[in-house]
Amino acid sequence: MANWHFWGEKEFSDVYENIYIRSVMEDWYNIVFEFVKQINSVKKDKKILLDVGCGEGHTTKQILDRINGSYECDLLEPNQNALSTAEAFLTPENNIGKIYPRSLGTFKPDRKYDIIFTSHTNYYWALNQKDYDRQLQKLIELLDKNGKLIILTLPENSDHYQIMLREIYPKFNYAEHIINFYKKIGLNVEVEKLKMKMFIGDILSTDKFFDLKIFYRFIHNTDSFPNDKESVDFLKKIQKCQKNNYLDFKDYLIVVSK
């Protein structure tokens, strides 16, 4: 697929190539506004933030642009190319602190944080539950006293998980595991249950499989295209889940404090 350099912000690549144009803008910005509300409710002269897995920094900017008062935000991202893009994209208008080309597992912090936030990154933190729970524990240890951890991820009943032909993400990735983990160790956990609708009317209104196959790759986190049988099975699952040409990924914003 060609990269449209004149339209930098919407350069689609790999399995993400069609996902951003499917999401309902208003649903996404309601999620951004919830992040912002949570961050703005922390009263401090200067807030020290960390974005875990900032990618190219688009979500980071949507959030930082709306923060009241003084702040400094560190960036953590294992993909060096994405991090360089984020740095160039964010530094002109946002207060960026330290930049770490690291995964959460290998991150060695230089300071504690008032707010740690992360948007759709938990799926990639670990391959087994023991290591995953270690990351959950680590995030709490990175918080300063009165600090807040904000994790955006999908619940078990998300249409994303319902339409998959096979389990790609082990169940410990689901929002419910994170919520239970933190409740069990006595932390305060608030959960905002948000909508994240995706338009799939294009896929449902044609007997051609082009967009269906691209959507399959995103949902199954793979570069491989489905065969014809998998395509038909995937289409049936989408048809069953959809309401008025939309799926709902149902994002949960999990807010944890000590």
Ligand X SMILES: C[S@@+](CC[C@H](N)C(=O)[O-])C[C@H]1O[C@@H](n2cnc3c(N)ncnc32)[C@H](O)[C@@H]1O
Q: List residues binding ligand X (CB under 6 A).
A: 52-55, 58-59, 76-79, 82, 103-105, 119-121, 124-125
Question: From the CB of 236, what's the least distance to ligand X, in Å?
Answer: 26
Instruction: Report the residue number, 87 or 233, with the smaller CB distance to ligand X.
Output: 87
Question: From the CB of 124, what's the least distance to ligand X, in Å?
Answer: 3
Instruction: Report the residue number, 125 or 161, with the smaller CB distance to ligand X.
Output: 125
Q: Using the structure block, give the residue that is written with the tokens 């670990």.
A: 126
Distance of CA 168 to the CA centre of its chain: 16
Instruction: Report the residue number, 3 or 244, with the smaller CB distance to ligand X.
Output: 3
Q: What is the DSSP letter of 103?
A: -
Q: How far apart are CA 115 and CA 60, in angstroms?
A: 13
Instruction: Report the residue number, 82 or 140, with the smaller CB distance to ligand X.
Output: 82
Cα torsion angle, 69, 59, 76, 123, sign: positive
Q: Are strands 113-119 and 143-153 parallel, antiparallel or unpaired?
A: parallel
8 Å CB contact between 47 and 24? no
Instruction: Report the residue number, 35 or 209, with the smaller CB distance to ligand X.
Output: 35
Question: From the CB of 126, what's the least distance to ligand X, in Å?
Answer: 7
Question: From the CB of 45, what's the least distance to ligand X, in Å?
Answer: 27
Strand-pairing partners, residue 143, are 113
Question: From the CB of 107, what's the least distance to ligand X, in Å?
Answer: 8
8 Å CB contact between 214 and 17? yes
Residues in the chain: 258
